[in-house]
Homo-oligomer: A and B are copies of this chain.
Amino acid sequence: MRFDRELLKGTTETFLLAALAESPCHGYQLVEQLKRRSDGIFELGEGTVYPLLYKLEAKGWIKGQWDSDTALRRRRVYRITPRGRRQLAQRTRQWEELVRGMTLILKGAAHA
């Protein structure tokens, strides 16, 4: 499904945190991960993912490390930090609250 770009705003960071909470990942792989894990609903481009990773790292929510041992190509593997997990929990609560509010409003409109 193709979304209005604006509908995704504010949710993308949460995607990445959630994906990294499940397992460490490098950027290129995250693009595939998100697509797969969301059942094809989300497709973030590299131009979205990489800048976001730098930002999340700068905030201390994830930590990147160059993986030169196992990898064929140089790549940066990101892991979620304890602070990142707290941030994810908080965002998850906000998300659920948003869903609750939207449901209330859309339900009203449906039977109007």
Chain A residues packing against B (C-beta within 8 Å): 1, 3-11, 14-15, 17-19, 21-23, 34, 37-39, 41-42, 88, 91-92, 94-95, 97-102, 104-106, 108-110, 112
Contacts and interface: CB of A to CB of B under 8 A. Distances in A.
Nearest to A105: B18
B19 A11 contact: no
Contact of A4 (B88, B94, B112): B94
Contacts of A42: 101, 105
B41 A97 contact: yes
A1 B97 contact: yes
Name the 3 nearest CB pairs between A and B, nearest first. Answer: A6-B10, A7-B10, A41-B101
